[in-house]
Amino acid sequence: MNDSGTGTAPTAVEERLRAALTARAHSVGPADLRPLRPPTAPVRSGRVLLRRAVASALVLAAVAALVFLAVRGGPSRPAEPARAPRPGTGTPSAVPSPLAPTTAEPSPSPTAP
């Protein structure tokens, strides 16, 4: 495992691991391998089923909302105003005069110690 060019000798753990992996690689031969069986039926994943369930729930909710809004009885004509409108009979009030300017007095400032 130290073949990366570091120039250090492999440790005992690295040698044991390399030997174990080599032995495992040589234990598998062509007689142990067999071709895969062809698929007999299409397999549907859980994601496809979940997507279909969510899509059908959303469609059902949309149809229910449309039915609710269409069936809900609303007034067939607009509501009457709260009170009958009356024309203004009073005279307009006079425009208030501007306030007299006041002189501002400076506020006392705290003295620094």
Please tell me what DSSP assigns to residue 74.
-
Q: Coil, strand or helix: which one is 20? A: helix
Calculate the dihedral angle through the C-alpha atoms of 20, 26, 27, 30, rounding to the nearest 10 degrees.
Answer: 150
Neighbours of 17 (CB within 10 A): 13
Give yes or no for residue 107 having a pLDDT over 60.
yes
pLDDT value at residue 49: 87
The position carrying tokens 């994601």 is 47
Q: Report the pLDDT averaged over residues 106-110.
A: 68
Neighbours of 10 (CB within 10 A): 13
pLDDT value at residue 48: 86
The position carrying tokens 């400032």 is 109
Position 40 confidence tier, pLDDT thresholds 50, 70, 90: confident
